[in-house]
Structure 1
Amino acid sequence: MSSVSALPLNTSSNTSVRERVTPQEWEVRVKLAAAYRLAAQLRFTDHIYTHFSARVPGPEEHFLINAFGLLFDEISASNLVKVDIDGTIVDDPIGLGINYAGYVIHSAIHGARPDLQAVLHTHTRDGIAVSAQKDGLLPISQHAIGFSGRVAYHGYEGVALDLDERVRLVADLGDKSVMILRNHGLLTGGISVEHAFQQLHGLERACTIQVAAQAAGNAELVYPPAAVIAKVEQQAKAHASGDGPGVARHWNALIRQLERTDTDYKL
């Protein structure tokens, strides 16, 4: 896959990334790097080919994304690449550029949905398996029912290298923050990195449960009554906005888990 590259700005040996960005940007960098490391720990990765992004606080339409070529467990706050909506690389600390398909997908959503501060995209085995099923995510588990009525679908158009796909991607997403990309993978957005990751964690789990249930072959699946699905859908909506205490509780537990073995994401 192609990449976009540019010379980094202000990268003299005596100026660190932390020194040349605002405290607010550094905080987002640390959280996004943690999300990459957590995804590696949870095996939500596809070698070097998927991407998470987060909007940079401030008036400029800049977002952060991974340098193309690094594994998720190599991402740190200092090596994230800053790019604008038009594809101009603002700061590339290690000079690797970015995955162009990642730019197409993430610029589309950041450009159209200022409410979504972070966008996470995966190519996991179970996520892609569900994306290839005509009926998509089935309401057969508590995890899946929590997404009932909240999942958008986008048809596969090939590797996302065509800028005009952004219009259709945004149209299909609508006002939702969770999307299944047909024959491709999963995508979640959030009002923060923490919120987007909570949604991704739950969606990945729902897909894994579905694939496991279907692996039984001819065993008939049990679907809860419509009234129960509607009840859980309403219960889940109360927590779906991302501004409640549940997001911080979930994220803080993940960070404790991560930091038992890895604190380099903060560098």
Structure 2
Amino acid sequence: MFDIPQLNLKEKVSQEEWQTRIDLAACYRLVAMHGWDDLIYTHISARIPGTEHILINAFGLAFDEITASNLVKIDIHGNKIDPDCPFDINPAGFTIHSAVHEARHEDQCVLHLHTNETIAVASLEEGLLPLSQYAMFALASMSYHDYEGLAVNADEKQRLQDDLGTANFMLLRNHGGLTLGKTIGDAFMHMYDLTRACQVQLQIMATGMKPVLVDQSIVDGIKAQANIVHTGLTGGQKSWPAMLRKVYKHDPSFAS
């Protein structure tokens, strides 16, 4: 049986880095708790405030094995900062994240998942439809990127950046979903909204009945409301302490 090296970095890193590690490890555990993980694949990355360094999961660990101390600190090119770190990352998996972090320096967290629901809706020609309140939040800041195969080619990065633009939500065609946030809590809430929106859309489509679409004028007016509800102190950060408490109750080992 593979034994995971046990580390304790709490007293070896800055307070800002440790808090980022706590929040990011909690986000990984929440994804696993929601059933959104994909074995050892997909990633959530976060920039350490005040630095150009990024934290990401160790390749080979399941999301419910991620802890604050076993997250790997890297530069924008995917190089490990600490050569003594016993963990490696998935270079192919970091391609998308590096592209987004390069283009969106003001956003701390990038969350990319392969849930059935986001893949299914991303594979529909019409994409996400205005069918639910969850969809309103996502459609207020939505983008799409066409599938180009495994994200390992450096020349795809510019196209991904161009497609993303200033959006906080992206559906990668035939691939999955991606969200960004100025905090880890914001990125998580964005993914929660996107996933729920896709789930509801598929459930409505499964009825075979004609759906009622929200008028475009309402969709256009949602953005300002969405910025209030799901960003900053009244949004992601308002819900994030509750999410942290949920993870602590479920398994406090993430904070080690």
Query: Separation in 2 of the partners of 1:92 and 1:226?
Result: 52
Q: 2:27 aligns with which of 35, 42, 61?
A: 35
Q: 1:47 aligns with which of 39, 45, 54?
A: 39
Query: Separation in 1 of the partners of 2:101 and 2:191?
Result: 17
Query: Separation in 1 of the partners of 2:143 and 2:221?
Result: 20
The 1:235–1:58 alpha-carbon spacing in structure 2 relative to 1, beyond 3 Å, is closer
SS of 2:44's partner is: strand
Query: Separation in 1 of the partners of 2:84 and 2:61?
Result: 13
Match of 1:197 in 2: 188
Q: 1:251 aligns with which of 221, 240, 249?
A: 240
Q: Is the 8 A contact 1:80 1:93 kept in 2?
A: no
Q: 1:137 aligns with which of 114, 128, 131?
A: 128
Q: 2:111 aligns with which of 112, 120, 125?
A: 120
TM-score, length basis structure 1: 0.88
- 1:249 Cα offset (Å): 2.4
Q: 2:100 aligns with which of 109, 119, 134?
A: 109
Match of 1:81 in 2: 72
Query: Separation in 1 of the partners of 2:62 and 2:30?
Result: 12
Deviates more, 1:245-254 or 1:176-185: 245-254
- 1:109 Cα offset (Å): 1.1
SS of 1:98's partner is: coil
| 1:161 paired to 2:152 | yes
Deviates more, 1:68-77 or 1:15-24: 15-24
Q: Is the 8 A contact 2:140 2:220 kept in 1?
A: no
SS of 2:170's partner is: strand
CA root-mean-square deviation: 1.9
SS of 1:17's partner is: coil
SS of 1:35's partner is: helix
Please tell me the residue identity of whatever aligns with 2:232: D
Please tell me the residue identity of whatever aligns with 2:23: K
- 1:92 Cα offset (Å): 6.7
TM-score, length basis structure 2: 0.92
Query: Separation in 1 of the partners of 2:152 and 2:219?
Result: 38
- List runs of 5+ in structure 2 lacking aligned partners: none
Deviates more, 1:231-240 or 1:24-33: 231-240
SS of 2:235's partner is: helix
The 1:153–1:199 alpha-carbon spacing in structure 2 relative to 1, beyond 3 Å, is same
Query: Separation in 2 of the partners of 1:47 and 1:116?
Result: 26
Q: Is the 8 A contact 1:39 1:72 kept in 2?
A: yes
- 1:125 Cα offset (Å): 0.5
Q: How many equivalent residue pairs? A: 252
Deviation per CA, 1:21-57: give whole Å up to 9, x if none: 1111000000000000000001111111110000022
Match of 1:184 in 2: 175
Please tell me the residue identity of whatever aligns with 2:36: F
Query: Separation in 1 of the partners of 2:54 and 2:173?
Result: 25
SS of 1:147's partner is: helix
Match of 1:20 in 2: 12
Match of 1:5 in 2: none
The 1:171–1:226 alpha-carbon spacing in structure 2 relative to 1, beyond 3 Å, is closer
- List runs of 5+ in structure 1 lacking aligned partners: 1-10
Please tell me the residue identity of whatever aligns with 2:124: Q
